[in-house]
Amino acid sequence: MQRSPKVAIVAAMEREVRPLVENWRETEREHQGRGFTFFEDEHAVLVCGGIGAEAARRAGEAIVVAYDPFMLMSVGFAGALDQGLRAGSVFAPHTIIDAGDGSRIEGGGDDGVLLSFASIVGPEQKARLAKAYGAQAVDMEAAAVARAAQAHGIEFRAIKAISDEADFAMPPLLAFLGDDGRLKTAKLVVYAVLRPWLWLRFARLARNSYRAANALCAALARFNCPAALGPRRQLQPASGPER
């Protein structure tokens, strides 16, 4: 059977991809008892599965089963391990390392190594991970999405945008993460409001996340994603990224 011509895209949070999907159709579907919101246009479909490997795995499986795409992509924010990567830099790895078992997966790009790690890391741990794995950036979801692509025998690609630089100390976001991989935003806001010494850090993170989201969505066009380019051009499964 011939697969659907759609590209399936998995992100963690809607704010990572809002500039891309703001005019796409929204469809609600269930998979294995969980509800998912799919954003769809003529050539692509996107789901925001939540933060973390398990949330990404569920979302990757759900979107592949629902749409039978020819390609699965992991997109979203990543942290810099390399001091040269600044907020808003786009990173398309040639290799993804799963820190859980040390396995390596092809990432479809040519920008270096992305490490998929189990938690958000601060500057000291970033330095240790960079040295231990030879990686330039770190995320939490790409390896899990890649596994879903492998399980279904389809092409995989990762495109990330840097939201926190190598020297940036992230707030304790995982403390406000629900079982579904979603941030408990209201509780996080209360936490931040009551800690004025963290206001500048949260403001910097918000600014850098905004920059990363816009860079990421622009990059999808540069990497020949039909969803960003519109119906006149279509991604060919065998094509490489346009630089």
Report the alpha-carbon distance of residue 58 to residue 19 in Å, rounded. 24
**pLDDT at site 173:** 84
Mean pLDDT of the chain: 88
Between 229 and 81, the higher pLDDT residue: 81
Does residue 110 carry a pLDDT above 80? Answer: yes
64-79 average pLDDT score:
95
Q: Are 129 and 82 in contact (CB under 8 A)?
A: no
If one looks up domain 7-229 in CATH, what number appears?
Answer: 3.40.50.1580
Q: Given this model, what pLDDT does residue 1 score?
A: 52
Listed residue (30, 55, 59) closest to 46, CA to CA: 59
Alpha carbons 114 and 34: distance in angstroms, whole number = 29
Q: pLDDT higher for 66 or 4?
A: 66
Tell me what pLDDT residue 238 has.
32
pLDDT (tens digit, 9 = 90+) per residue, 23-39? 899 999 988 888 899 99
Q: Per residue in 154-176, pLDDT tens?
A: 999 999 999 999 999 988 888 88
Question: What pTM was estimated for this model as a whole?
Answer: 0.86
Domain residue spans of the chain: 7-229
Q: Is the pLDDT of residue 73 over 70?
A: yes
Give the torsion sign (CA, 57, 155, 93, 77): negative
Cβ–Cβ < 8 Å for 54, 181: yes
Residue with the bigger pLDDT between 146 and 43: it is 146
Whole-number percent of the chain with pLDDT over 70: 89
What is the per-residue pLDDT for 171? 85
Contact 47, 20 (CB under 8 A): no
DSSP 8-state code for residue 202: H
Whether residue 223 has pLDDT greater than 70: no
CA dihedral (105, 16, 65, 153) in degrees, to 10, reads -20
Bridge partner list, 176:
none
- Whether the per-residue pLDDT at 227 is higher than 80: the answer is no
- So what's the pLDDT on residue 2? 59
How many residues make up the chain in this entry?
243
- pLDDT higher than 60, residue 131: yes
